[in-house]
Amino acid sequence: MASDGYLPLFETRRVKGRIFYRVFVVSVFVCIFFIWVYRLCHIPNKHENGKLLWVWIGLFAAELWLGFYWIFTQSLRWNRVRRLTFRDRLSQRYEDKLPGVDIFVCTADPKIEPPMMVINTVLSVMAYDYPTDKLSVYLSDDASSDLTFYALMEASHFSTHWIPYCKKFNVEPRSPAAYFINVGESQGEKSQSNELTAVKRLYEEMENRIQTATKLGRITEEIRMKHKGFSQWDSYSSPLDHDTILQILIDGRDPNAVDNERCALPTLVYLAREKRPWHFQNFKAGAMNALIRVSSKISNGQVILNVDCDMYSNNSQVVRDALCFFMDEEKGHEVAFVQFPQNFDNVTKNELYSNSSRIFNEVELQGLDGYGCPLYTGSGCFHRREILCGSKYSKETKIEWKSKKDSKGEESLLDLEETSKALASCTYERNTQWGKEMGLKYGCPAEDVVTGLSIQSRGWKSVYSKPERDAFLGVSPTTLLQLLVQHKRWSEGNFQIFISKYCPAWHAHGKISLGFRLGYCCYGLWAPSCLATLFYSVVPSLYLLKGIPLFPEITSPWIIPFAYVIFAKYGGSLVEFLWCGGTALGWWNDQRLWLYKRTSSYLFAFIDTILKTLGFSESAFVVTAKVADQDVLERYEKEIMEFGDTSSMFTILSTLALLNLFCLIGAVKRVIIDDGFVKLYETMILQILLCSTLVLINWPLYQGLFLRKDNGKMPSSLTAKTLVLALVLFGIEVT
């Protein structure tokens, strides 16, 4: 507490053990340096073996790259902090002055983002523990689906029962689907049990109506006649050719917009921005910018929260947590946005696809927060509206927090809808700064990250908040291909940022700290890291087959830095993973997916980025599927890897796996025939270790190629193709 009696709304604490960790990091770097020295001091003679010389140079380049990349990863751990909020202090000082909050939920495809999932997210944020007259919820539907609109209309009716129930019994989580899974009718007092039965029955009736319409694939005329909003689809041609569709389903200005306890309801708005075949839509960034403009006309909340449609709110207090950072009297004026972690409720015990983002959430974002610059990751992020619209930082900036504006009587509901539609038209942004200096940035698959970077480059700070109860829970990929495609998009976007003017490595000098610049390189260099990984995954194994050593002998003192780095790198990551709540098998799966992503997703991202830079291709946005077939889901829950699709990514992974297997078998054969085990062990121990590890880590691939009979195995055509490729490459090396 300060001498003047000031009590902050949030507190920053440094993570313990920093001194020990920093000593450890220095020791590892010293050994990495000696590995570089070894490569330089033992360069093969060009005249004796010219090919080996180039291999040696390749290994040195790979080790140089991986060494520097490791340094970048440590900058994320160098200055970690944790944030604690004091919501009671916020309520004492500002309960009557809380600002309006506009919440954006984005969806793009009703087939892979089912309407029931979307409205559960909407209902969860409508029921926040926050004054409902200061909440406004907007659903952006880029598929312009009348099925999604119908589901939202049903949700607006159900909210009159759900919101008061949540507040009366302090329900968590406030997504109906998640809540009903976790609670039984027998729990709680009799009064709650009766009300639970009633509200659950209403939910199931609503779900049945929505599912019936979804299976039918259209809205019946009987339903259309009941709501004027469906008439906006009369001029609808296709998802890519239609007028702006905007409907205010709940008007927060209307005194009759109340729940069954006669309390005000949040404003609820459906928006499908105008689409034309000849007009590029800028994917999610374009949808978000349309929402920013439309919401400024309807509610104009000072704070904006955006969430993905599959990322329901799991913590009803999260709005107040965010406001503790924005409204702090001493430091709040510096904060542009508050990022909460994206957690998932369908992750298996041992994280089959390493999709919990455990280290990213528990370690790396805390490290970036230590520099005041955690990334904007696209969902679960609170923004100050004025900053998102281009405001620059100044130390003299004073923020006047206002309640949501009272526009009662200014415009009729119909007039408000009509005037707001123009803000979501295709031509509105023409000759403006939208997508450049205002709103989310255009031209990059990682529109969220580059937008956050541009905000930070204007002098603003950001905050990472991880409350004890997860703020948001979503759906992670349930197949390997979904995960690889998702990471291709992320790595491609981050690499595009790295080679653009927004890269922190050279942009906004003096406004972004050195630690953040180094830390961001981890993400910006995901894609090009594929080259060093591919080289290390192939060449040492091939030279093991040839019997040519590429590393120090076991009796040489030069093996010490190699052994120490291997032990420290993987031992340290195991301890870190376990400390973050993971399992040993989960860590092993994480190492496997690290290899798979680098040799497939990042490789394709690197190639596509280079082609786009040279003008040979255009960026595309791929929505990750949020639903899976029942048999796929059953295999996922049993932690059986899914390979059922034909993909060029699987071709690369399988070929590399088979090549390493053939090399290991060839080396074993050489030992048996030549009786050279001792010699091989003494001269090539690290190559044996590397090749054996690669074979072990690829065991699920071998199962998918040869041993499994279920539908999740590798397609026979892909198995044959990769087997031929691997045999050809193996045969070339043997000859």
Cβ contacts of 318 within 8 Å, gap of 6 or more: 128, 340, 467, 471, 472
What does the block give as tokens for 486? Answer: 């998702």
Rounded to whole angstroms, the Cα distance separating 356 from 581 reads 11
The β-bridge partners of 141 are: 107
Do the Cβ atoms of 552 and 38 come closer than 8 Å? yes
Instruction: Name which of 103, 203, 110, 104 is nearest 148 in CA terms.
Output: 110
Rounded to whole angstroms, the Cα distance separating 639 from 585 reads 11
User: Which uninterrupted H or E stretch holds 520?
Assistant: helix 514-524
Among the listed residues 102, 142, 243, 470, the single catalytic one is 142
Rounded to whole angstroms, the Cα distance separating 698 from 599 reads 13
**Number of neighbours of residue 638 by Cβ within 10 angstroms:** 9
DSSP states along 380-422:
SEEEEHHHHTTPPP-TT------PPP--TTTS-HHHHHHHHHG
CA 87 from chain centre, in angstroms, equals 27
The β-bridge partners of 382 are: 305, 338
What does the block give as tokens for 694? Answer: 């690669």
Burial of 575 (0-12, 13-18, 19+ CB in 10 A): exposed
Rounded to whole angstroms, the Cα distance separating 79 from 494 reads 23
CA distances from 431 to 291, 421, 425, 435, 474 (A): 19, 19, 14, 11, 37
Active-site residue flag, 251: no
Rounded to whole angstroms, the Cα distance separating 76 from 519 reads 5
Active-site residue flag, 4: no
Do the Cβ atoms of 534 and 595 come closer than 8 Å? no
Instruction: Name which of 624, 151, 149, 138 is nearest 424 in CA terms.
Output: 138
Rounded to whole angstroms, the Cα distance separating 46 from 439 reads 57
**CA angle, residues 638, 642, 648, in degrees to nearest 5:** 165
Classified as helix, coil or strand, 144 is coil
> Which residue is associated with the tokens 């023409």?
430
Instruction: Name which of 549, 545, 520 is nearest 462 in CA terms.
Output: 520
Task: Tell me the backbone φ, ψ of residue 462, rounded to 5 degrees.
Answer: -125, 165
Among the listed residues 133, 369, 448, 470, the single catalytic one is 448
> Catalytic residue numbers?
142, 448
